[in-house]
Chain A
Amino acid sequence: AQSVTQPDIHITVSEGASLELRCNYSYGATPYLFWYVQSPGQGLQLLLKYFSGDTLVQGIKGFEAEFKRSQSSFNLRKPSVHWSDAAEYFCAVGYQKVTFGTGTKLQVIP
C-alpha cells in the first residue's frame, strides 16, 4: 500500500532563511508525487508535482522539490522564506487515489 511520512509536524524559520520540508514515501511503481499548501481556513493548492524526467522540479511561489529514488524522498525547498509562506504543507503520492501525509505546519518569524 502507498504511504507518505512527513516527519516534522511543526517547523519555525526566520524570514529570509532557507527552508526544507521532508517527505518520504512508499509506492509500488514509479510514483506520482505532489506538494500542496493549505492556508488557514482554505482548501489545498498544488505547489508542484513529479512523475518522471528531471528529478528537480520547480513549482509556484518559488518552491522546488527534489525526487531521490534511492532515499524514497521528495523534499520541498525554498531558498528564502517570506512571511506569507506561513501555512501547512502536505506531501502526497498516488495516481488516482492519492494518499496524503499528515502535514508540516510552517511558522515564519520576522
Chain B
Amino acid sequence: NAGVTQTPKFQVLKTGQSMTLQCAQDMNHNSMYWYRQDPGMGLRLIYYSASEGTTDKGEVPNGYNVSRLNKREFSLRLESAAPSQTSVYFCASSEPLAGRSEGYTFGSGTRLTVV
C-alpha cells in the first residue's frame, strides 16, 4: 500500500539547470497537488490538478510548470532553477467523498538544493 510516491528524494541542481519532480499515487484519487515547504512559512501551494486533464495555479506558481500525465501521475518541472527554489517539495492527493473533503495524503517529499 504505497500511497503517494515521490522521486527523487534528494537533488542538487546548479542555477539554470532544469529538472522534473515525479509524483504517483495508487489510491485512485482525482485531485493532486504540489506544495513547497520553507522554514517558518508552512506549506505553500504551487499547482494543483482537480482531476485528470486539468491544472490550476496555486499561491506560488512562478518558475514552475506541471503535467497531469494520467490519473496516477502529476509531475512538477523547474525549467531554469534558481536558488530561491531551494526547498522541500511535497506532492499530495485527495478524493472528496460526497462533496466532503477527506484531507490529503502526502508523499515523503523531495529535498531540492539549487546552488
Residues on A lying within 8 angstroms of B by beta carbon are 4, 9, 32, 34, 36, 42-46, 49, 51, 90, 94-103
Whole-angstrom distance between the alpha carbons of A97 and B45 in the complex?
Answer: 8
In-complex Cβ contact of B101 among A45, A95, A99, A103 (8 A): A95
In the bound complex, how far is the Cα of B42 from the Cα of A99, in angstroms? 9
Contact B42 A98 (CB under 8 A): no
A54 CB to nearest B CB, Å: 15
Are B45 and A96 interface neighbours, CB within 8 A?
A: no
Q: How far is the CB of A9 from chain B (nearest CB, A)?
A: 8
Closest 9 CB pairs of A and B: A43-B106, A102-B42, A100-B43, A100-B42, A46-B103, A44-B106, A32-B101, A43-B108, A95-B101
Mark contacts of B102-115 with chain A using CB atoms, 8 A cut-off: 1 yes-contact digit, 0 otherwise: 11111111000000
**Which residues on A sit within 8 Å (CB–CB) of B2?**
none
- The reply to whether A44 and B101 form a contact with Cβ atoms under 8 Å apart is no
A44 with B100: CB separation less than 8 A: no
Contact A96 B48 (CB under 8 A): yes
Closest to B43 in A: A100
Could you say which of B41, B58, B59, B90 contacts A44, with CB atoms under 8 Å apart?
Answer: B90
Decide: B58 and A97 in contact? CB cutoff 8 A. Answer: yes
Partner of A45, one of B42, B45, B106: B106
Instruction: Please measure, in the bound complex, the distance between the C-alpha atom of A61 and the C-alpha atom of B45, giving whole angstroms.
Output: 27
Taking CB atoms, residues of chain A closer than 8 Å to B53 are: none
Please, which residues of chain B bring their CB within 8 A of the CB of A32?
100-101
* Contacts beyond the supplied A94-B101, A100-B35, A101-B42: 15 A-B pairs with Cβ under 8 Å: A32-B100, A36-B106, A42-B108, A43-B4, A44-B43, A44-B92, A46-B103, A49-B102, A49-B103, A51-B101, A97-B45, A98-B45, A99-B59, A100-B43, A103-B42
Residues of B within 8 A of A34 (CB): 103
Residues from chain B with Cβ under 8 Å of A45 in the complex: 106
Asked if B31 is an interface residue, CB under 8 A from chain A, the answer is yes
Interface centre among B41, B48, B90, B103 (most CB of A within 10 A): B103
Return the contact of B104 from the options A4, A9, A98, A101 (Cβ within 8 A). Answer: A98
